[in-house]
Amino acid sequence: MIRPMTGFRQITKMWGTRRIAALALVLAGVGGLTILAAIAWRALDQAPSREAAISLAGQLGAGGLTYLFVLTVIGVVLDRALAARAYNHRDLPARPEFYDYGTPELPQHMEELSGRALKSLTFTVFDTETTGLRPSQGDEIIAIAGVRVSGGTLRRDTTFEALVNPGFPVPKPSIRFHGITDHMLSDAPAIGAVLAEFHAFVGDSILVAHNAAFDMRFLKLKEQSSGVAFHQVVLDTLLFSVFLDRDAEAHTLDAIAQRLGITVEGRHTALGDALATAEFFLLMLDRLEARGVESLGQAIAISNEMTAVRKLQTQF
């Protein structure tokens, strides 16, 4: 037996909230006019004179038009509100956490960086927008952006941003997240060309991302076809958040930004999210230093520890 609320949710998912609202208003209009017509027919039939009937008909007609006008206004306002809600990024679910990219390790040619102070290093904080959340099942990157952090400072004038043509139409549900349409991607380059440019931008800097395994999985799957491999060290602000605020209920980008008082401009755009991540990454460096985590090697060590902790937490 299907519960009423479950059935309503299934219908809403299949038809869409805006269509259901429009149908409800149409039914309200038809029902209201039917009732008004029945009242009018009876009143006109009982009118004492022809003049009274004409006057009554005029009043009922005006009432019917007013009713339709009010329904139209309600329909327009409701439709705009539902459309705005559909693209309200605060109502969107967060990306799932990934742990299948391995733990951060120092490449052999970068081992000398292990003892370096974090604030003395150069980072590229990046983010991607994708056609969906399943990289192993055919979803593709459609936008990638990065911003440089060096010497403990956010370099807003040193950024990378590019759209990517995935080679197939962008699924409509994902457009709700990032607002990137097929028209915007029609002249965008393919992923191979974009990754080559992004790799050159990154250089020998250390990669930083929020929920980094999600983005790195997409990059990893493109190594063979693009010929571009990212062997840089990767740090994850989600893991730093678990270390610094282990008792916090959420470690999403939005939750961290709210906790640290950071305003996210351009949420769910690759560059906007990269800039927000870079801002709270810098704040995290101060807090890590206060907790005795000052070097890259120490940051990698706690990242590995927090990966294990987070895996355990997801079981409960």
Distance of CA 203 to the CA centre of its chain: 28
> 20: left (phi > 0), else alpha (psi -120 to 50), else beta?
alpha
Mutual orientation of helices 237-244 and 270-290 as an angle, nearest 10°? 40
What distance in Å separates the CA atoms of residue 70 and residue 232, rounded to the nearest whole number? 61
- Count of positions (residues) in the chain: 316
| Residue in 178, 210, 251, 268 annotated catalytic | 268
On whether the CB atoms of residues 242 and 310 are closer than 8 A, the answer is yes
Is 268 a catalytic site residue? Answer: yes
Which amino acid does the sequence have at 268? H
Cβ-count burial of 214 within 10 angstroms (0-12 exposed, 13-18 middle, 19+ buried)?
Answer: buried
Which amino acid does the sequence have at 119? K
What distance in Å separates the CA atoms of residue 235 and residue 254, rounded to the nearest whole number? 18
By C-alpha distance, which of 300, 303, 250, 260 is closest to 282? 260
Could you give the residue numbers annotated as active site? 268
